[in-house]
Amino acid sequence: MEPEATTMVTGDEVQKQQEGSQLPSLRESIDKHESLSSKGDNEPNSVSECEIHWEELQLREQIGQGSYAIVYHGIWNGSDVAAKVYFGNGYTEETLQDYRKEIDIMKRLRHPNVLLFMGAVYSPERLAIVTELLPRGSLFKNLHRNNQTLDIRRRLRMALDVAKGMNYLHHRNPPIVHRDLKSSNLLVDKNWTVKVGDFGLSRLKDATLLNTKSGRGTPQWMAPEVLRNEPSNEKSDVFSFGVILWELMTHSIPWKNLNSLQVVGVVGFVDRRLDLPDDLDPYVASIINDCWRSDPEQRPSFEELIQRTLFLVNRVTAVSIRRIAES
């Protein structure tokens, strides 16, 4: 079973929280916060610039669920899309803020390894974010739920895709820190390209370190400083990448025998790490261990991780070509 964020809430609970708190005008509330977009960005600030009308969307089967929304396969203007529909129909100010922040981040991103934002629904009855649909689903599903084994070259290429997408985010101005990087937030297209998605917990990094005391996220992939509720920066995403690389190499679910609170204690306060297999390539092991350094400043950047992962991909490719030539 895929680990969910620690603040998992049912639809009924959300509705109870929202009773009596129906906002006078969803559009007024959203427009009031248009200034969330970074200064100097020439792109439109208003959510209305990317509006999709609810009646234009046709929802098909459910393809995912998180702590505050359900993701559906949808049809919009004749095209397949993914529609993340927020729970309930009376939205709290906190929900609206998360919604605006995610749109504000996603609408400015254009990269082959980042999920493409297509538009947003913000009717008084519904909030939804519409993105491209990636048919193979999440990396988590491809690693742990499908009865298939991905060859080492494909798995390394997937790691390289993640590093490229994250390097793009970290080089935005200001940098974007994902804060919830995990295999279930990485989507796989029909050509096995991996794209970074789900920016619900992401934040724009300013001059100060990010304060991460929201208590949300999935501990199995999170950096120790985040688990301790300490301020963090983009190097917390690097730690998470190390967990994803471990996952790709082992086909195992991280800390699957521990609950979330136990993971917080073991990783955040005892400073333990996942066990590396004895037969793991030493070069891969060195990358993972560097990502897992206790001091965030000693962890590599994604720029460096691209080069190190690319070296592995090229080495595996060369070995494959040599074997074909010799056969």
Dihedral sign for Cα atoms in the order 284, 286, 290, 294: positive
Cβ proximity of 311 and 159 under 8 Å: no
Cβ proximity of 106 and 92 under 8 Å: no
Binding residues, as ranges, are 84
Residue 124's CB: how many other CB atoms inside 10 A?
15
- The active-site residue, picked from 180, 278, 281, 290, is 180
Rounded to 5°, the CA angle 195-201-207 comes to: 105
How big is the chain by its Cα radius of gyration, in Å? Answer: 20
By three-state DSSP, how is residue 161 classified?
A: helix
Residue 35's CB: how many other CB atoms inside 10 A?
9
Q: Name the burial class of residue 91, with classes exposed (0-12), middle (13-18) and buried (19+) by CB atoms within 10 angstroms of its CB.
A: buried
Binding residues for ATP, as ranges, are 84
Is residue 295 among the annotated active site residues? no
- Rounded CA-CA distance 242/276 in Å is 11
> What phi, psi does 29 have (nearest 5°)?
-65, -40
- Rounded CA-CA distance 86/65 in Å is 10
Cα→Cα distances 107→14, 41, 256, Å: 27, 12, 35
- Rounded CA-CA distance 211/149 in Å is 39
Largest Cα–Cα distance in the chain? 73
By three-state DSSP, how is residue 216 classified?
A: coil
Specify which residues 65 forms β-bridges with: 70
The beta-strand segments (E) located in the chain are 57-65, 69-76, 79-86, 117-122, 127-132, 176-177, 186-188, 194-196, 203-204
Residues labelled catalytic: 180
